[in-house]
Amino acid sequence: MRHRPAAWALALVLVPSLALAGHRVDLNFNVNIDHDTPNLTCSDIEMRFWEDYKHRGDIVTVRRDQAVALTLGGASPLRVRASDHGGVRVQAATGSSASAMVCMAAGDRSEAEANALLDQLRVRNENGELSVTGPEDADWAAYIVISVPRGAKLDLSAENSELALVGVNGRFTMRTTNGPIMVADVAGEVDGESVNGPIQFRGHAGDIRLAAQNGPVDVKLDVPDWTGKGLDARTSNGPVQFSAPAGLRTGVQVEGSAHSPFIWNGVARPSYDEWRRSHSVWLGEGPVTVRLSTVNGPVDIQAPGNTGKAKPKSTSKDVGI
């Protein structure tokens, strides 16, 4: 049975791009996506360029879509590179073949100028890599929606854009510097890292490793039992937020440090003995399968209050924290 994640909407506002010589561009860009949409299309993605709040209507945003047939199944994963404005979403295909839809946008003072910029974009699908190229420091964007069958292998990367996995089963790596990472209703193997962007996880299955250096980590289990090897989600300097349903049976450990304020269901718990001693809490039953940790950030737990009830017999070192 497939469990859908809670409704997620992404709204990214990116810093203005630089101006090309002889071409008036100094625009902001935002993209809005409801990731609860199971079979996302370009028409479901809102992309808009704008100058400032006083002159939002002075800029014309023009859209263009391009379908791409993909070949998967080789020894190496398909590499997908996100543009600076836009992102990549991977979702389950309705059939047995893989495909991509590239949703492109450009902004300028007139429709003709925006279309001229779109004419310069190139979708490249060669040598095992999918990407979109265009003029540097110009006001264009590309959001790539990839539909894959079960067992797909992909390598996703971005600098400032979002990387998202929704409802897929396969092997995925995700690397971004400043963009967010989102993983929802995914099975298989996921290895995701973000330097400064936030990480969100919704689901209950797979062999999942997620790491952030400076961004927050938000994990929500949507059923009481984990299926698969487990989840390891951690951040060095960001906050950790965890929620779970009633009747949680999967063993969960949430670890902080002496620098980590501890909140349980909205209430500060500085006097909790186990937290003061080891800076960890345990939930659920049985061996630890889900692990979350932060070094310097606060910890916020929204879960049934069975604190300490499922503490494993092994030490924190034994369970890999």
**Over the chain, what HEC string results?**
CCCCCCCCEEEEEECCCCCCCCCCCCCEEEEEEECCCCCCCHHHCEEEEECCCCCHHHCEEEEEEEEEEECCCCCCCEEEECCCCEEEEEEECCCCCEEEEEEEEEEECCHHHHHHHHCCCEEEEECCEEEEECCCCCCEEEEEEEEECCCEEEEEEECCCEEEEECCEEEEEEEECCCCEEEECCEEEEEEEECCCCEEEEECEEEEEEEECCCCEEEEECCCCCEEEEEEEEECCCCEEEECCCCCCCEEEEECCCCCCEEECCEECCCCHHHHHHCEEEECCCCEEEEEEECCCCEEEECCCCCCCCCCCCCCCCCCC
Does residue 176 form part of some domain?
A: no
Query: What pLDDT is recorded for position 53?
Result: 63
User: How many domains does the chain fold into?
Assistant: 1
pLDDT > 70: percent of the chain: 82
Domain span including residue 278 = 198-321
pLDDT at 137: 85
**268 has a pLDDT exceeding 80:** no
User: Which has more confidence, 256 or 145?
Assistant: 145
Q: Evaluate whether residue 69 is within a structural domain.
A: no
Please report whether residue 204 resides in a domain: yes
Q: Would you say residue 293 lies in a domain?
A: yes
User: Do the Cβ atoms of 62 and 103 come closer than 8 Å?
Assistant: no
Give the residue, 183 or 8, on which the prediction is more confident. Answer: 183
Rounded CA separation 82/163 (Å): 8
Q: What is the reported pLDDT for 16?
A: 43
User: Residue 57: what pLDDT?
Assistant: 65
Q: What are phi and psi of 112, to 5 degrees?
A: -65, -45
Answer yes or no: is 301 within a domain.
yes
What is this structure's pTM? 0.86
Q: What is the pLDDT at residue 265?
A: 82
- Put the strands of the sheet holding 152-158 in their side by side order: 122-126, 129-133, 78-81, 152-158, 169-176, 187-194, 205-212, 227-235, 288-294, 251-255, 280-283
Give the mean pLDDT of the chain. 86
User: Which candidate, 27, 169, 33, 44, places its Cα nearest to that of 84?
Assistant: 27
Identify which of 99, 97, 85, 64 has the alpha carbon closest to the alpha carbon of residue 138. 85
pLDDT tens digits, 91-129? 999 888 999 999 999 999 999 999 999 999 999 999 999
pLDDT in tens, 42-69: 999 999 999 876 655 689 999 999 999 9
Assigned domain for 268 exists: yes
Residues in the chain: 321
pLDDT tens digits, 183-234: 999 999 999 999 999 999 999 999 999 999 999 999 999 999 999 999 999 9
For the cut 80, the answer to whether the pLDDT of residue 273 exceeds it is: no
Q: Is the pLDDT of residue 155 over 60?
A: yes
Residue 33 included in any domain: no
Mean pLDDT to the nearest integer, 21-43: 80
314 inside domain: yes
Look at residue 75 in the predicted model and tell me its pLDDT: 87
Identify which has the larger pLDDT, 276 or 269: 276
Top pLDDT among 17 and 260 is at 260
Local confidence band at 10 (pLDDT 50, 70, 90 cut-offs): low
Beta-carbon contacts of residue 311 (< 8 Å; ≥ 6 apart): 274, 282
pLDDT attached to residue 264 = 81
Q: pLDDT of 164-179, one tens digit each? A: 999 999 999 999 999 9
> At residue 274, what is the residue type?
E
Strand partners, 284: none
pLDDT attached to residue 259: 73
Structure tokens at 84: 């600076």
Report whether pLDDT(180) > 70: yes
The whole-number pLDDT of residue 274 equals 64
Averaged pLDDT for residues 19-24 = 37
